[in-house]
Amino acid sequence: MILQGRKPTVFISSTCYDLKHVRNDLKNVIEEDIGLETLLSEYYSFPIDPSIGTVENCLRIVEQRADIFILIIGSRYGSTLDNGKSITNLEYLRAKAKGIPIYAFVDKTIIRNIPLWKSNPTMDFSSVVDSPQLFNFTEEVMAIDSVWIHEFEVSKDISTIIKSQLSYLFFDSLELRKSIKNSSISKKVEERSPSAIQLVLEKPLAWEYRFFSQILSDELLMCKELRKDVQYRIFMEFTDPICDLDKLKDWAIENNNKLLRIVNALSTLINEAFPKAIGDLGEPSDLDFLVYIVERISKIYKSIIDLQINISSTTIPESAQKAIECLVMIYDSVLNDIERMQEEIANAISQIPEQTTENSDSFHITIPLILNEFDTSEFIEEFKKLYIDD
């Protein structure tokens, strides 16, 4: 979607104390010389949510506010979290998942020592880095993710390069804007992610299927944090406790019936709506219809999570806990099924070549749009035990 009335925002990610002057110099260049907004966690202008922690705030800002991501790797990896990664590492992963432009800068000393570290990983590098994990992180960015790396010695090196690179990005953005204006893309499609719009503009082989896969992936990714709420039992609201077993039975059955209705709607979208939207071979697809289907799948996905949260946050008798856990697991199996379907679609489409030639071999791809029937037997058995015992 083309937004107007807002400057692009640049998130500068690095360890703070050792690169304080580099970060400050870069902030001044980006804001004063280039005219963009910057986000640096050490400044009072960094928007925080006081209800969550430091790491969550940084990741939230990358997700919600960052348009451009600048990664600076110096001699410090920084303190690690329980998952073994630093905040800078996690910020980078969030920016990569979001799909925004990433410009990476690595201290020349680190670059020079990587070959030595790879040959002698147990060698003492404490005079160069605070943790060998920094070499792992740099190698991940360079070799695994294939992000273009710029070496630097002083902050001016970064400023000079970023001015040039942002000018190229500006030109590319103008060309993309021109392409969108000259195309027949609807407002509904225009609001999709840049990766999805690129597929519509470039039209690679099987681009309609690629478009569907991309927007489905984008929508489910945005729900990832909601699933963590259930996993870690992060509940902001609590319903009234249910103490009466008869009321509990009606409540549980109603929630199970809600899931049945939701899954039926999901099945209709997949088995009836999708074939109509994608069209027959050789016919144009209805992109607005495809967007509608994905938006509804996403809405269903979120509603299942909301039901999970509602059930999990309700206080019930201890004797009924096992039965309710079984009900929550049923909901979880449907969510896993939707995620599996999305992954299988993406994997199937990844096997399609970008284009064919006269000498290309023919190929056949099956797009898996199948939902498994969820099993309620354990839930029913646990409820039977509950009322027999009663």
CA 233 to chain centre: 21
Q: Alpha carbon of 162 to those of 91, 113, 277: distances in Å?
A: 19, 24, 43
pLDDT band at residue 32, thresholds of 50, 70 and 90?
very high
Render pLDDT for 228-269 as a digit per residue (tens, 0 to 9). Answer: 777 777 776 667 788 888 888 888 888 888 888 998 999 899
Q: Indicate the DSSP class of residue 45.
A: T
Q: Is the pLDDT of residue 299 over 90?
A: yes
Q: How far is CA 327 from CA 118, 252, 258, in A?
A: 49, 8, 12
pLDDT of residue 369: 64
Higher pLDDT, 205 or 371: 205
Query: Is residue 357 over pLDDT 60?
Result: no
Cβ contacts of 148 within 8 Å, gap of 6 or more: 103, 104
* 8 A C-beta contact, residue 86 and residue 131: no
Pairwise CA distance, residues 45 & 65, whole Å: 13
Which residue type sits at 308? Q
Query: Residue 225 above 80 pLDDT?
Result: no
Report the amino acid identity of residue 265: A
The C-alpha angle 12, 104, 28, rounded to 5 degrees, equals: 35
**Arithmetic mean of pLDDT, 206-230:** 86
Confidence of residue 38 (pLDDT cuts 50, 70, 90): very high
Q: What angle do CA 100, 101, 104 make, to 5 degrees?
A: 125
Structural contact between residues 36 and 9, judged by C-beta atoms closer than 8 angstroms: yes
Alpha-carbon span 77 to 134, nearest angstrom: 5
CATH of domain 9-171: 3.40.50.10140
Q: What 3-state class would DSSP assign to 70?
A: strand
Q: Which of 271, 282, 265 minimizes the C-alpha distance to 208?
A: 282
Q: Average pLDDT of the chain? A: 86
CA 112 to CA 45: how far, in whole Å?
Answer: 36
Measured in residues, the chain has a length of 390
Alpha carbon distance 255, 323 (integer Å): 13
Helix (H) or strand (E) holding 210: helix 207-222
Query: Quick one: residue 237, left, alpha or beta (phi over 0 = left, psi -120 to 50 = alpha)?
Result: beta
pLDDT attached to residue 4: 52
Higher pLDDT, 344 or 374: 344
Confidence tier at 1 by pLDDT (50, 70, 90): very low
- CA nearest to 46, candidates 64, 70, 33, 68: 64
Picking from 106, 369, 380, the residue whose alpha carbon sits closest to that of residue 252 is 380
Nearest to 267 by CA among 300, 307, 218: 300
Tell me the pLDDT tens digit for each residue of 115-170: 999 999 899 999 999 999 999 999 999 998 889 999 999 999 999 999 999 999 88
Among 146-150, 186-190, 274-278, 351-355, where is mean pLDDT lowest? Answer: 351-355
For residue 254, what are the CA distances in angstroms to 184, 251, 291, 309, 321? Answer: 45, 5, 30, 15, 17
Q: For residue 354, what pLDDT is reported?
A: 66
* pTM greater than the 0.95 cutoff: no
| Closest by Cα among 78, 23, 25 to 54 | 78
User: What is the average per-residue pLDDT within 368-372?
Assistant: 66
Q: In this predicted structure, what is the pLDDT of residue 114?
A: 94
Task: Delimit the domains of the chain by residue range.
Answer: 9-171, 187-389
Query: Among 17-26, 170-179, 215-224, 281-290, which range has the highest average pLDDT?
Result: 17-26
In this prediction, residue 312 has a pLDDT band, given cuts at 50, 70 and 90, of confident
